[in-house]
Structure formats: C-alpha cells, structure tokens
Amino acid sequence: MTNKTVLHAKHIEAGAKMVDFYGWDMPINYGSQIEEHHAVRTDAGMFDVSHMTIVDVKGADAQAFLRRLVINDVAKLDVAGKALYTGMCNLEGGVIDDLIVYFFTDTDYRLVVNSATREKDLAWIAEQSAAFDVTVTERPEFAMIAVQGPQAKAKVATLLNEQQTAAVDGMKPFFSAQAGDLFIATTGYTGENGYEIALPAEQAADLWQQLLDAGVKPCGLGARDTLRLEAGMNLYGLDMDESVSPLAANMAWTISWEPEDRNFNGREALAAQRAAGDQPKLVGLILEEKGVLRSGLKVISEDGEGIITSGTFSPTLGHSIAMARVPRSVKLGSTVEVEMRKKLVKVQVIKPSFVRNGKKVF
C-alpha cells in the first residue's frame, strides 16, 4: 500500500515524475531537478514534506523525558518557539534518527522526525516514554510545506494575514511560531533562508496553489538531495544509521556533554568512544575534474580506507561533491583518492559544508 500526501494531486497536476520513497509516492522532479535546485539557490522553491512525522510531546515530565531521549540538551531551550537539531541514540550510541525539537514550554514540545524511520522512531519513543509522565501524539492531520530560497520569506509574506505577519516578524533562524492555523518555522534542509510550514491537511492544497501563484517553484526530492548535500546536512540512512556513532557522522556538535549528570541514552557508549578518540569522521570531498562521486565508493588515503556516504553533482559549484566517512587522522585540506569507474581519481578533503546562502563556503 503506497501512501500519498494530501498534495499528491497537485504534484500530478504539475507534471511531476513520481517515485516510491520509503512507501510514499513522492515527486522526484517536475521536469529538471537542476532547474529546481537553482530556483532554491537564487529565488524560491517549495517542497512537499508532508510525509515527515510530527510528534507532540506534552506533560509534566516532557523536559525530563527529552533530556533522556536526545543527545542535545533541551534544557538549553528557554525562549518559546526555539528549535534544536539533534540525534536520538540507542544505548550503544548508534543513531536511531536525527530530528528537530521545537520548544514551547517545559511541558510542551514538538518533534519532527524522518518518515523513513517513522515506525521504529515511534516504537522507541513509546518505549522510552513509559517511565515518564508524558503523552506522545503523532500529528498525521498536518501537512507540511518547506518554502526555501533567498526570496522565500518575501513570497510567503504576500500570503500572510496581519496576525501571521506579526508572528513571523523578525523571527531568527531556528525558531517557530504558531500563527493561526499555520505553524511556521525558520528551519529547512537546503542551506537557504525560508520556512517550514505545518498546517491542517485540508488547507495544504490551497496554500500550495497560492505559493505557485506567488512564483514559488515546486521542487522534488532530487533537488532536495543536492541542496542538502551542498549545505553539508546529513541524510539519515546514508550518512548515518543505527550502526554509526554521532561522533562519526559530524554530529558531535549536537551532543551536550554538560551537565555531566544528564544521563541521556547512549551517553556511556559515546563518552567511551570520545575518550578513545578512535571513531572515524565524516568529511567533505570535492572532485574538480569530470565525474560524479557516488554513495558506496571506496576512499583511499595514507591513513587507511573510507567510504563515500553520499555523493552528487553540485549544480551550484559545477562539479561533484560528497560526504565520506574516513579515518580520524585524515587531515582537512589533504588529497585522497576515490575508486571510481575502475580508475582512481584525486579528491580534496574539506569540512562537510559546500554552499550556504547561494555561496561557496570552502
């Protein structure tokens, strides 16, 4: 049984090429994923992300529960609407999923987790929450549209009423606000400014059409992948999974080690890995000659072998980029080799971040 988002008919109407994405029939592109990519870097594009899973966590123990569940510390959140990117680990320190936590009050939070991991996430959250006084509620009645790009906010602004305009006025990155029926967050997966908007499913097609009429280009999963990779953002299932430590997935910055007495899931295992210093690391690779680095290709360095976790052609840069997991001793700025189509090509190692706000960042 294939799931369809409430915007499915709009995708078909726009001539989308549909693919199966973990059980969801989703648009891969509406003609050219490269044109869609450029629209987001230079103007405004939108993505149907209604397949993602929204989970509300409420109750007296909501803060205490999330301080156990995720590797970042939600106690750091003290301004209503603030968002936090982090990971949810198992007791062995493997990444069950990455997610965004939105803070409203110490008893009221919203999580947005991946759709591909929905079932195991919900099962894990349910199991872990049993000892806490919280209610965990999935919100499938919401659709979600991400509007991203340098002109995204301006184009959305033309559609907002007075109350909604006031709610988003001056909103900094990684914040959110409930504005009437719209839950509007300044988060995204592209490295550009913009919003992710959750709203009642029955209103989604109208908002999508209004955004189209405002000149926002529909973009599929193809462009979403090249944009997130240029931005150096991980994709769960490729760049990390349950067999991978956040220390090996460029997610160490999402772990809050202080205070020392916060016993988050996986802490013991992660602290031991950190002390040993032997986890591999996730780096960026750039290939300036012809060819495209692809997931699964072997990386060869003087310090040992690694593997490309995600690779693509970067439409913004005009050459291939990748993320790769390599031995920790491989230095940024060094040159390593990738085995590609029966030959070895030289690639440069950089921090895994390539493009932000339309500009090259390395």
The counts of H helices and E strands in the chain are 9, 21
Stretch that binds other proteins, among 27-35, 48-56, 66-74, 143-151 (CB under 8 A): 27-35
Which is nearer to other proteins, 261 or 289 (by Cβ)? 289
Report the b/e string of 328-337 with b at 16+ CB within 10 A. eebeeebebe
Question: What is the C-alpha separation between 135 and 110, in angstroms, rounded?
Answer: 12
| Shortest Cβ 318–other proteins spacing (Å) | 9
Considering only 291, 307, 327, 361, the residue that binds other proteins (CB under 8 A) is 291
Considering only 79, 261, 276, 290, the residue that binds other proteins (CB under 8 A) is 290
- In angstroms, how far is CA 182 from the centroid of its own chain? 21
Does 295 bind other proteins (CB under 8 A)? Our answer is no
How many beta carbons lie within 10 A of that of residue 161, not counting itself?
11
Considering only 186, 265, 301, 312, the residue that binds other proteins (CB under 8 A) is 312
What's the number of CA atoms in the CB half-sphere (13 Å) around residue 78? 2
Stretch that binds other proteins, among 30-38, 151-159, 174-182, 252-260 (CB under 8 A): 30-38
Please name which of 93, 103, 104 lies closest in space to residue 71, comparing C-alpha atoms: 93
- For residue 114, count CB atoms less than 10 angstroms from its CB and return exposed for 0-12, middle for 13-18, buried for 19 or more: middle
Contacts of 208-214 spanning 24+ positions with Cβ under 8 A: 208/7, 208/10, 208/46, 208/48, 208/145, 209/10, 210/159, 211/46, 211/145, 211/147, 211/155, 211/156, 211/159, 212/14, 214/155, 214/156, 214/158, 214/159
| Shortest Cβ 230–other proteins spacing (Å) | 12
| Shortest Cβ 23–other proteins spacing (Å) | 21
Which is nearer to other proteins, 37 or 281 (by Cβ)? 37
Stretch that binds other proteins, among 97-105, 232-240, 248-256, 289-297 (CB under 8 A): 289-297
Contact 217, 43 (CB under 8 A): yes
Does 14 bind other proteins (CB under 8 A)? Our answer is no
Which is nearer to other proteins, 139 or 319 (by Cβ)? 319
User: Token match 């980029």: residue?
Assistant: 321
Q: How many residues bind other proteins (CB under 8 A)?
A: 14
Enter the tokens of residue 335: 């040159």
Does 29 bind other proteins (CB under 8 A)? Our answer is yes
Which is nearer to other proteins, 81 or 222 (by Cβ)? 222
- In angstroms, how far is CA 201 from the centroid of its own chain? 22
Which is nearer to other proteins, 5 or 314 (by Cβ)? 314
Does 226 bind other proteins (CB under 8 A)? Our answer is yes
Region at 225 (left for phi over 0; alpha for psi -120 to 50; beta for the rest): alpha
Does 342 bind other proteins (CB under 8 A)? Our answer is no
Contact 292, 313 (CB under 8 A): yes
Which is nearer to other proteins, 28 or 205 (by Cβ)? 28
Does 59 bind other proteins (CB under 8 A)? Our answer is no
What's the number of CA atoms in the CB half-sphere (13 Å) around residue 340? 20
Considering only 70, 313, 330, 349, the residue that binds other proteins (CB under 8 A) is 313
Does 292 bind other proteins (CB under 8 A)? Our answer is yes
Stretch that binds other proteins, among 26-34, 112-120, 161-169, 302-310 (CB under 8 A): 26-34
Considering only 81, 222, 266, 280, the residue that binds other proteins (CB under 8 A) is 222
| Shortest Cβ 262–other proteins spacing (Å) | 42
User: What residue ranges bind other proteins (CB under 8 A)?
Assistant: 28-29, 32-34, 222, 226, 290-292, 294, 312-313, 341
